[in-house]
A and B are shown apart, each in its own frame.
Chain A
Amino acid sequence: MAGFDKVVSTYEEAMAGLEDGMTVISGGFGLCGIAENLINEIKRKGTKELTMVSNNCGVDDFGLGVLLQDRQIKKIVASYVGENAEFERQMMNGELEVELTPQGTLAEKMRAGGAGIPAFFTATGYGTPVADGKEEREIDGRMYILEHAIKGDFAIIKAWKADRYGNLVFRKTARNFNPMAATAGKITVVEVEEIVEPGELDPDQIHTPGIYVNRLILGTFEKRIEQRTVRTAQS
C-alpha cells in the first residue's frame, strides 16, 4: 500500500485485525447492498462475541444470517429482523441480545458517529419502549428523546465503483446505509464491483470521499433477491 492507494488483494487482509468482542457496522438494506464477501470472511475467521449494527440481519443462509449459524453474534442493533428463523430462535432463547432501533434513528446514529456528534434529540420513539432509560427534553413545545451516536471498530461496506483512493460510487437503492456506515468505522473496509484509477471518476459524482475508507477490495457478488416481484404485460 502506498500513499492513498487503499486496495488490498485478499479478504484475509481486508478483515485483518477483527477480534472477538468488537463492534461491526454493516451497510445494506435487507440483502441489497450488503458486503457479501466481507461477511463470509468474518464467518471463515470465526470471530465471536460480535456486536453487529445493521438495519437487518440477512436471511438464514445469506448475508449476516450466516454469522448466526456459529453463534458469532452476541448483540445486534437493527430496525427490522423479521426474515430469519434462526434469528428468532436465538432471540427467544435469550442467546442473542437485540436492540431494536427505529430505522431513521439508526441511520442518524451512524451519521452522528462518523461526524463527531455524540448524541442528538429526536421525536422518533418518544412515549414508546425505545425511550426507556433515555433522557427526554421538551423543545419548542414538543417532546424529544436523546439518542447516542454509534461508532464501530470496523465498518463493512458494499459500493458499486471505486477508484484506488477509495472514492466511492453507489448504485440505485444499494446505497442505503452504506455511506453513513462508511463514516462510522475506525477501520472501514469496502468491497466493490469495479476499481478504476484515480481521476477516472467524476469528482462531482462521488458519493463517499476516500477519506473515510481504509481498505478496498474487488469482489464478485451473488446479489441475492429477497422478494422477486414482477408485473405481467397487462398490469
Chain B
Amino acid sequence: MALTREQLAQRVAQELQDGYYVNLGIGIPTLVANYIPKEIEVMLQSENGLLGMGQFPTEDEIDADLINAGKQTVTMATGASVFDSAESFAMIRGGHVDLTVLGAFEVDVNGNIASYMIPGKLIKGMGGAMDLVAGADNIIVTMTHASKHGVSKLLSNCTLPLTGKGCIKKVLTDLAYIEIKEGKFHLVERAPGVSVDEIIKLTEGELVIPNNVPEMKL
C-alpha cells in the first residue's frame, strides 16, 4: 500500500534528532510536526521570522500578528524568538538549519528539483523554496512517486522550471525512500506492501536496486 500523507510525515519524523532546528514546508512537511518523538527536542523554523513555532492556537489565543509561512495562525513554543526576514534567511542561506523538509513536482537523478511553477498553468512563486534548497545541506523532499495518471515524478531530467540545481539527496515518496548519488536514484526502503517492481515501473530515472530492500518501519 502506498503511504498516506500521515505515514509520509511519520517516516520523515524518524529522521529528526534531538536538538535539531528544522524548517518544514507547506503541505505534507507541515504534518511532520505532529510526529516529533516525545523524548527529543526539536525547534521549528518558520521563514516569515519565527524560530520555535508552537501548535495552532485555541480560539482565545488567535493573534493576527503571529502566523507561519503558510499564513496560518500559530503560537510560539517555549524559548521561541522572532526576527525579520533578512535574519530568517541568514539562518537558512547560512546553513544553520539542520533539516529542511519540502514538497516538489519533480526530482531528477542529478538532484535537481522543480517545485514552484507549471508554465501556463500554475504560477504562484517560489516563496522561500529556492533559498531553502540552496542553503540547506540536509534536505528531504516529500512527494507522491507518480501522478494520478501514473506518470513518474522521479526523472532522468526535470521537465519543469527548476527550483534548485544539484541540491537534493533524499526523497521520500508514497512508495519508497530513495537517495540520490552519482547521477542515479538508489532505492533504500519501500513502503509496506509495495513491491520493488511497482517502484521500478513508476521511476523514470535510472534506479539502482540493492539485493535487499527493506520495508519501512512506521
Contact = CB atoms under 8 A, between A and B. Distances in A.
Interface in B61-81: 62-68, 70-74, 76
A231 interface: yes
A130 B130 contact: yes
B58 A230 contact: yes
B128 A102 contact: yes
Interface string A171-208: 11111111110000000000000000000000000010
Interface of B is mostly: loop
Contacts of A126: 134, 165
Interface string B71-114: 11110100000111110110011000000000000000000100
Nearest to A83: B71
B161 interface: yes
B197 interface: no
A82 to B, nearest CB: 3
Contact of B84 (A122, A128, A175): A175
B203 to A, nearest CB: 23
Given A123-B135, A124-B130, A104 B71 contact: no
Nearest to A31: B71
A55 interface: yes
B50 interface: yes
Contacts of B67: 29-30, 32, 173, 225-227
A170 B48 CA distance: 14
Contacts of A170: 84
Interface size range of chain B in the complex: 35 or more
B84 A178 contact: yes
Given A88-B123, A227-B67, A173 B73 contact: no
A167 B77 CA distance: 28
Contacts of A44: none
Interface residues of A, number: 58
B64 A224 contact: yes
Contact of A231 (B56, B125, B165, B166): B56
Most chain B CB inside 10 Å of its own CB: which residue of A31, A179, A228: A228
B29 interface: no
A32 B134 CA distance: 26
Nearest to B123: A91
Given A111-B86, A231-B58, A124 B65 contact: no
A26 B1 CA distance: 48
A128 B162 contact: yes
A81 interface: yes
A166 interface: no
A128 B165 contact: yes
A129 interface: yes
A30 B49 CA distance: 13
Given A104-B93, A126-B134, 12 more contacts: A29-B85, A81-B123, A100-B123, A104-B85, A105-B131, A126-B165, A127-B162, A173-B48, A173-B49, A174-B64, A224-B64, A230-B57
Identify the 3 closest CB pairs spanning chains A and B, nearest first: A127-B165, A104-B89, A82-B124
29 contacts: A30-B67, A33-B65, A91-B123, A102-B130, A103-B89, A104-B85, A104-B88, A104-B93, A105-B131, A110-B86, A123-B93, A124-B131, A170-B84, A172-B63, A172-B76, A173-B50, A174-B64, A176-B48, A178-B84, A207-B84, A223-B64, A225-B62, A225-B67, A227-B67, A227-B72, A229-B72, A230-B59, A231-B55, A231-B57
Interface of A: 29-33, 55, 78-83, 88, 91, 98, 100, 102-108, 110-111, 122-130, 160, 170-180, 207, 223-231, 233, 235
Interface of B: 46-50, 55-59, 62-68, 70-74, 76, 82-86, 88-89, 92-93, 112, 116-117, 123-131, 134-135, 161-166
